[in-house]
Structures are given as structure tokens and as C-alpha cells.
């Protein structure tokens, strides 16, 4: 598992890429081994993910009759949803790389997207903790979530631009592939798995 020092280097590299500095690639391990190791980002995101699961758990309980209990199966299903939301966009990005003939760029896309998940997952996890502890702050947190979504789109766009160059159609295609499936999958799978809170 990458150390906190390594993760800080990776995040520094991502920040440089977002600012348009290609030196950021030097701080990232974009080899095949680095691509495999980048999936450790899931472990770094896990505490924040658990916070979001607890918030979803509370949201579900609020909509059920008093005294209802949700067992461990709820968290198993929520973890399944998290894994699907993580992997499906990367798989679709791989398909897009094959279709456009840029397979060699797939490792760097996986590495950057996996490690970019860490700060955004933690930011979202903190918002979930705020909603758990202070439900009345939901409108304010909702506004922060919109800002976070905008920041994610901008970050994705700028990193993809550093990878592929100034190709608006390519940038748009990858941003859509990496973001839209999550939005569709989340609600569809929540309904399918019986963990839809609304």
C-alpha cells in the first residue's frame, strides 16, 4: 500500500496537472505497475466512503417506520455500489481508448483518476459527516456539493487536457465517460439493491 508520503506526491502531481504544469507527470507513477498500485486509492478513500454509507443508512432509516433496523446486508450492498461506481467509468474509459486508438494512454488515465478520487472522496465524506451531525445544514451542504461537483468537472477536464492535448471533443468524451455513468449507475443500482433513500 502506498505510504502517505507517496500519496502526497501523487496529489501534488495532480495539482500541478490541474494548473497546467506537465511536471506533474513526474510525480506520478504512470507505469503498468503504477496503474495497478493506484487502485490502493480505494483504501485511502474507504474512511470517507464509510461516512457516506452511514449518512445513507440514516437517510434510509428516516424514511422507514420507527424501530426498523437495517442489518449488515445494507452495508454490503452499499459497498457493492461503491465498487461498481469506481470500476465502470474506468472500464468505459478503456473502451474509449481502444476505439480512439490511444490504448497507451490508458494507464495514465487510470492513475490520475484513481488518485484524484482521494481528495474528492474525503471532501464528500466530510459533508456527509456534517449532514449526520447537523441535518439542518442540508441546504448549505447541498450548495457545497454543487461547488464540489463543478470542481471535479474542472479538474477532470484540465487533467484530460494535459493527457490528450487541446482536443475539445476528446476532453468532453472522457469527462462524460468518467462522470455520467456514476450519476446513472448510482440511482439505478440503489433502486436495484434496495438502498434508494427517496
Can you give the pLDDT at residue 28? Answer: 93
162 pLDDT above the threshold of 70: yes
Please give the average per-residue pLDDT across 11-17, as a whole number. 95
Best CA proximity match to 124, nearest among 194, 175, 56, 28: 56
Can you give the pLDDT at residue 67? Answer: 63
Can you give the pLDDT at residue 64? Answer: 67
Where does the pLDDT of residue 109 fall: very low under 50, low under 70, confident under 90, or very high at 90 and above? very high
The set of cell numbers assigned to 90 is 474506468
3-class SS at 9?
helix
185 pLDDT above the threshold of 80: no
The set of cell numbers assigned to 5 is 508520503
pLDDT tens per residue, range 52-95: 888 888 877 776 667 667 778 888 888 888 888 889 889 989 99
How far is it, in rounded angstroms, from Cα 89 to Cα 116?
A: 14
39 pLDDT above the threshold of 80: yes
Q: What is the rounded radius of gyration, in angstroms, for the C-alpha atoms of the chain?
A: 18
Please give the average per-residue pLDDT across 106-121, as a whole number. 94
Asked if the structure places residue 97 within a domain, the reply is yes
Can you give the pLDDT at residue 119? Answer: 94
- pTM of the complete model: 0.87
Please give the average per-residue pLDDT across 26-50, as a whole number. 91
Domain of 148 in residue numbering reads as 4-193
Asked if the structure places residue 198 within a domain, the reply is no
pLDDT tens per residue, range 163-179: 988 888 888 888 888 88
Where does the pLDDT of residue 9 fall: very low under 50, low under 70, confident under 90, or very high at 90 and above? very high
For residue 15, give Cα distances in angstroms to 8, 39, 49, 75, 169. 10, 19, 22, 33, 23
How far is it, in rounded angstroms, from Cα 198 to Cα 196?
A: 6
User: Domain count of the chain?
Assistant: 1
Can you give the pLDDT at residue 78? Answer: 85
Asked if the structure places residue 177 within a domain, the reply is yes
Asked if the structure places residue 169 within a domain, the reply is yes
Amino acid at each position: 500500500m502506498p505510504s502517505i508520503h507517496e500519496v502526497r506526491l501523487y496529489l501534488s502531481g495532480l495539482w500541478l496537472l490541474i494548473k497546467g504544469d506537465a511536471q506533474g507527470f513526474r510525480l506520478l507513477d504512470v507505469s503498468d505497475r503504477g496503474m495497478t498500485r493506484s487502485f490502493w486509492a480505494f483504501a485511502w478513500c474507504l474512511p470517507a466512503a464509510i461516512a457516506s454509507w452511514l449518512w445513507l443508512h440514516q437517510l434510509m432509516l428516516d424514511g422507514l417506520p420507527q424501530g426498523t433496523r437495517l442489518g449488515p446486508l445494507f452495508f454490503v450492498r452499499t459497498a457493492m455500489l461503491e465498487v461498481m461506481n469506481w470500476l465502470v467509468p474506468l472500464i468505459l474509459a478503456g473502451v474509449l481508448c481502444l476505439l480512439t486508438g490511444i490504448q497507451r494512454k490508458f494507464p495514465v488515465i487510470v492513475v490520475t483518476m484513481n488518485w484524484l478520487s482521494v481528495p474528492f472522496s474525503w471532501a464528500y465524506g466530510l459533508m456527509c459527516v456534517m449532514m449526520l451531525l447537523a441535518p439542518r445544514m442540508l441546504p448549505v451542504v447541498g450548495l457545497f456539493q454543487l461547488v464540489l461537483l463543478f470542481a471535479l468537472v474542472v479538474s477532470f477536464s484540465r487533467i484530460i487536457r494535459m493527457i490528450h492535448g487541446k482536443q475539445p471533443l476528446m476532453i468532453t468524451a472522457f469527462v462524460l465517460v468518467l462522470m455520467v455513468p456514476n450519476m446513472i449507475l448510482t440511482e439505478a443500482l440503489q433502486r436495484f439493491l434496495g438502498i434508494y433513500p427517496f
